[in-house]
Structure 1
Amino acid sequence: MVAWNGQAAGLCVFCQLTLETRDHLFFVCPFVSIVWSALAKGLMKTRFTTDWSFLLDYISNSNFQLVEGFLIRYLFQVVVYTVWRERNGRRHGEPSQPADTIIAWVDRQVRDQLLAIDLMGDRRYDEGFQMWLQSRV
């Protein structure tokens, strides 16, 4: 954005410490890292990282069991969407949401998706809710 419009704000809207880049925003920024860590550490365990390239490779090429793969990929998608939505809201003057609120919203989205799958009768994901709750401890 700064290259197109030299007057555009180039600092990260979350931390105000550095130029906003994809890698910084997803998930190096201290604010966003808190959100990602709180949600993903329990699922990824020793593979946890905030490195965008590693994450894309990990979620694209790992041989997950069905439910674990769904949870990690869905979580990644929801966090990216939520961070981008919050970033745009802040850029356009909407009130800022604290990290705890964002974490709770993402957690609710994951739970709701698992419940929706259950309501559709897909029994392949029965252990998903249990796995998600265990990862949140």
Structure 2
Amino acid sequence: MWGLQVQQSCCLCDQALEDRDHLFLRCEVSEHLWTLILRRLGYGRFFFHTWLAFVTWMGDRDSVTPLTLRRLASQATIYTIWTERNSRLHNNVSSSPAALFKKLDRQLKDIILARSNRKAFKGLMQRWLATE
């Protein structure tokens, strides 16, 4: 359409075709990042194998993590994966999952601090840091 030559394999792992489920949920880089995020949120090791499972998890209330923090962490993780993909694709610069998590951790702390006076954000910093 635009005359662009687009690589069809995943920019993060180069092991599978890049689609939404693979890039954001099943790629080894994404899975590693999700493992770090889910551990910080207080969950055991599990992976989302479909987008529907991910969206369902984001909407379900549970006793492990407040819904606001889970949604905030999910949005920030998806954004981090997307920006890493674009950094690798357009700038040929890559970061490790540990480095991505460090950036993500700082971003989430900043977001929570900036909104700490809002009711939905009360106690979220304590919860985010609980398993640090």
Q: 2:7 aligns with which of 6, 9, 16?
A: 9
Q: Give the counterpart letter for 1:133 in structure 2.
A: L
TM-score for both structures, normalised by structure 1 = 0.81
Identity of aligned residues (%): 30
Higher helix share: 1
Deviation (angstroms), 1:44: 5.5
Superposition pairs for residues 1-137 of structure 1, below 5 Å?
Answer: 7-43=5-41, 45-46=43-44, 48-51=46-49, 52-60=51-59, 62-64=60-62, 68-118=66-116, 121-136=117-132
Deviation (angstroms), 1:124: 4.9
Q: Structure 2 stretches of 5 or more lacking a match?
A: none
Deviation (angstroms), 1:98: 1.6
SS of the equivalent of 1:110 reads helix
The separation in 2 between residues aligned to 1:10 and 1:23, in whole angstroms, is: 14
Q: Structure 1 stretches of 5 or more lacking a match?
A: none
Deviation (angstroms), 1:46: 4.7
The separation in 2 between residues aligned to 1:114 and 1:84, in whole angstroms, is: 21
| Contact residue 12 and residue 20 of structure 1 kept, 8 A | yes
Q: How many residues align?
A: 130
Q: Give the counterpart letter for 2:57 in structure 1.
A: Y
